Structure formats: C-alpha cells, structure tokens
Structure 1
Amino acid sequence: MTFTEHTILITGGTSGIGLGFAKRFAELGNKVIITARNQVRLDTVLAENPDFAGFTSDIDDKNSVLELVNFIKTNFPELDVVMNSAGIMRALNLFEHSDGNLSALTEEIHTNLLGTIAVTQAFLPLLADNHGTVINVSSGLSNLADGAHPIYNLTKAGVHFYSDALREQAKYFGKNLRVVELVPPLVAETNLEEHASTDNPTNMKLSDLINEALVGLENDAERIDAGFAKILHQMGKSNSEENTSKLSAQMLGNYFPKEKGER
C-alpha cells in the first residue's frame, strides 16, 4: 500500500526531518500542511513549495494550538495524519545549571514532550473521526541515555511512553486511530545540533530515514526503528546499565572534553 491521498499536518515542517517528510509526502500525492513558529521561515518554505499549505503556530502556547485546530477544521476537515516533528536537542552540563533558574532546562520539555502531547490531544477527536494516524518522532536516545543530552533523552523517552499509552487506549476504547512512533538516530542533515556529521557512521541520511519510514508506514508498523536506532534499542534492552556507561563516557568526552591532566 502506497502512503498517498492523505491530508497531513506536520509540526516543525520548515526544516530538518519535518521538511524532508513534507516534501516526500507531497510528491506521493498527499495534501501537506506545515506549521512552525517563525513566520518568515514559513513564508520562505511555502514560496519554495507552492503545493504546501501553512499556518504559523507555537505548539508551546495553548491559544496558538487552538487557533491551529480551528484553522484545520475550517480549511482541512478531512485531516487524517498528524506528524509531530518539532523538536530541539541540546548538550547540557547539569552542573552549570544549578542556580535555581530552570528555564534553560525546560525548553526541550515544553517543545519535545509537552508540545507533542498538546498537538496530539487537540486533534484526537478529528483524527479518530477520520480513521487517522498520529506519527510521533522520538529518538534512538529514548532507548539509552547518552549522558550529554539529559533533558532531550527524557523528553524522547516520554514521547515513546505517551505513544505506547495512546496506542493501547485507542485499541481498548475502540477508536479508529493508528499511532506510529518513528525512532530516528541522529540525522546530520537536520542540523539539529552542532556535533552532527555526515562522516559519523552512526548518523543517517535524511533520505534513508524517509525511505525506511515509508516502508514501515506502508506495512502498518507501530514502531519504526531506523538506522542506528535499531542498535540503540537492543542496547537499551540488554546490559542497559553497562551500555549507558559506555555510551555516556564516549558522548560526554565528545561534548565536554576535559583539559589535559583534568580528572
């Protein structure tokens, strides 16, 4: 089955994974609506992709999400797919954030986790009525903490468990809703964070991620572990404590290198 003739809303659709999927979905004959906070960037992407529709929305803001819902219900009542792709990723030294100011530590929580929940919950009635699909983008680091991205790790683990719970509730309550978790590794082309490199064998090309995801969507997969995320999934299930220590030692050294002689 080809993933076509759907009406798809993509958050974070002006860059990275969201924009990559928007372009491919449109090529396959789907109607694509993208949303993002930056009006200038949104206008630029819409000008470059005239087949897209778009709406400026801040998924961190309740009123903004409600405005997005009203826009979709008015203009695209046939909406049957929501892809939650908006996300941020930061390496953080927790010992540099011990002054009681939590704003720097909660940004990822608001965007990656609470934003995903807010958008999904807002569209659940419409999606269920339209026999729809939710695609939540988590991360290979939802399976195994890497030490360097503590808040990002927990938000993506939260997206994973929220997706599982939503899927099981949809089955239990007899709702016509499909819930898919897309689990990518680091994708260098997204520029999600500065240490991404196309030379790193654990990273994945965006085009390869999209191809793997489409195969999973067309085969009714509930969870799509792509590229190196498959290995991280296994590492999280077997000897997870040992694997966490090994991965964290490597990643912390990459992101927070110590001076020579420093312990």
Structure 2
Amino acid sequence: MEPRDGGVEDRHVSKLSGLEEVDEMAQRFADGVVLVTGASSGIGAGIAARLHARGARVIIAGRNRERLESVAARHPGMSVVVMDVADPESVTRGLAEVAAVSPHLTTLINNAGIQRLLDFTAVMPPGPADIVSEIATNFAGLINVTAAALPLLRRAPRSRVVHVGSGLGFVPYAKAPVYSATKAAVHSFTVSLRRQLAGSAVQVVEIIPPVVDTPLHRDMPSVPPMAMPLERFLDRAMRGLDAGKDEIPIGLGRVSQIGVRVAPKRLFSLINRGN
C-alpha cells in the first residue's frame, strides 16, 4: 500500500517539532533563574547541580548554611539562602533574599522534605513534635514557599513550579505513615494548583520518584535494595522536565501511579511485605 501523500514528511516534521520543543525547554533552564529547596544533599543538590551545569542561575535553599555552602563551593556562581520551609517567617525572609538576587524566577523546585519511621503501636508512640514537623516541612512548607514565590514566577514570561512528590503518595508505606500522607497531600495540591494556573504562563509539574538512594532514608537500618541510584534518577527527571511534562513518574513511582488504579490492595501488600 502506498503511503498517503506527505505521510513520511509529516512524520518527520512532527518529530522535528517535538525535538524543538524539548530544546526550548532545556534552553529555558539555561537562561533561567532557579530556586531549589532542600538542596543541601540528595535530590535537591543533584537537580541544582544539573541545572547549574546548563548555565542556569541557581539559588539553593535549606536550613543548614554550612551544608549549603559546601554544595555551592563545588559549583561556583550558585547563591545560598538559609530558609526553613516549615517556618513561615523564615520563608518570607528567604524569598526576600531571592528577590534581591533576581526580580523574577523561572523555576521553583520544591524538594524540601523529611521522612520518619513512626510506629503508632509502640509503647512510646510518636509525639506531636515529630508528627507536626513532618507535616510542616513536607506539605505546609511546600505550600508556603509556592505562595511566596508565585509573584516572582509570574514576572517571568514563562515559568514553572516543580513539586517533588513520591510514589508513596499513591501507595503508602505503612512504616512511614505521616510521610506517605504528606506526599498524597502534595499530589492533591499539585493537581489543584495546576487547574488554578491553567491558561497562565506558570506550568505546574510533579516529579514522582521511587525510593532513591539519598540521605532522606537515614532513619532506615539500611538503604532499601530497590532504591534507584541518584544519578539514574536525575537523568530521568531531567528528561521529563526537558520534555515539558506535567507529571514525571519514575521507576516504582510510575508503578505506584498506575498500580493504585488497577490493583491497589495487591500493590499495597507488595510494598509493605514483611512489615
């Protein structure tokens, strides 16, 4: 059968158009001003390093100045802002410092997070401080930073908010119940914020990681055997960002996102096997 007139050409044009869009997204990072929270180690430090290597003006934020400056020292030109996302006043001060560095932002990456293994059946169950701090950092802090950064993001011709969620937001890990719940809340907030900003110049993105080999899991006796190496995760996350995707599920994060729709009980049992 003969191909329709222009069929091959149309496919080539479509492919080229897609590549041009990816190049445009990558260039936006190279030309942009980026704020990364939770950037003193792990995913945050890794993403900050990748974007800095592309030429972006990167501002890293976290609670520990010494650790932030250690990251920045490896990447000359990075700016450091000490900011505790769980403290609204600290967020206000931090965003004022960001505004002093640049009058606008092109990308906000909300990565700050803590994970605790909490047993509510223990003789000494988790106290309010442990519970509240996890919620304040992982969820309320993400909202506070987003709200404070939106005026700067809206000054850019095009910008994006990137929330680092988790596959555990779809299928929880029973030993980390509060962490899992906060990531479910992050997903819900992300979907709603995307709807509110639809039609604006601000894109809302959620990265949905699997377990990644980072210091986040220091409460665990050992790194989970299924943990994805950080560099492999970063490769996939950057490809998704370059492609302009709204949702970037990676590895077991993708399995959780899909599996919760088709076999939620089975997947929950598998993730919590032996617990």
TM range (shorter): 0.7 to 0.9
Please tell me the residue identity of whatever aligns with 2:267.
N
SS at match of 2:116: coil
Which of 62, 68, 82 in structure 1 is aligned with 2:108? 82
**1:170 matched to 2:190:** no
In structure 2, the residue matched to 1:129 is: 155
Kindly report which structure 2 residues correspond to 1:178-257, keeping only aligned pairs within 5 A, or say none.
Answer: 178-193=203-218, 194-195=220-221, 197=223, 200=225, 202-250=226-274, 252=275
Aligned length: 247
CA distance in 2, matches of 1:209, 1:155: 21
Kept after mapping to 2: 8 A contact 1:17/1:190 = no
SS at match of 2:154: helix
Q: State the shift of 1:195 in Å.
A: 4.5
Which of 91, 94, 97 in structure 2 is aligned with 1:68? 94
Please tell me the residue identity of whatever aligns with 2:175.
A
Root mean square deviation of aligned Cα: 1.8
Kept after mapping to 2: 8 A contact 1:187/1:196 = no
TM superposition outliers: structure 1 runs of 4+ over 4 Å: 97-100
TM-score normalised by structure 1 residue count? 0.88
Q: Any idea what the Cα deviations from partners look like across 1:120-141, whole Å, max 9, x if unmatched?
A: 0111122122121101000011
Which of 130, 135, 152 in structure 2 is aligned with 1:109? 135
Please tell me the residue identity of whatever aligns with 1:45.
V
CA distance in 1, matches of 2:104, 2:222: 37
In structure 2, the residue matched to 1:33 is: 59
SS at match of 2:81: strand
In structure 2, the residue matched to 1:255 is: none
Please tell me the residue identity of whatever aligns with 1:80.
T
In structure 2, the residue matched to 1:138 is: 165
**1:16 matched to 2:42:** yes
Q: CA, structure 1 residues 99+178, in 2 after alignment: closer, same or farther (shift >3 Å)?
A: same
CA distance in 2, matches of 1:126, 1:208: 31
Q: State the shift of 1:59 in Å.
A: 0.9
In structure 2, the residue matched to 1:58 is: 84
Q: State the shift of 1:144 in Å.
A: 0.3
Give 5+ residue unaligned stretches, structure 2: 1-22
Which stretch of structure 1 is more off in the superposition, 60-69 or 240-249? Answer: 240-249
CA distance in 1, matches of 2:246, 2:61: 24
Please tell me the residue identity of whatever aligns with 1:16.
G
**1:48 matched to 2:48:** no
**1:118 matched to 2:144:** yes
Q: State the shift of 1:247 in Å.
A: 2.5
CA distance in 2, matches of 1:247, 1:69: 38
CA distance in 1, matches of 2:159, 2:137: 23
SS at match of 1:95: coil
Which stretch of structure 1 is more off in the superposition, 14-23 or 227-236? Answer: 227-236
**1:151 matched to 2:175:** no
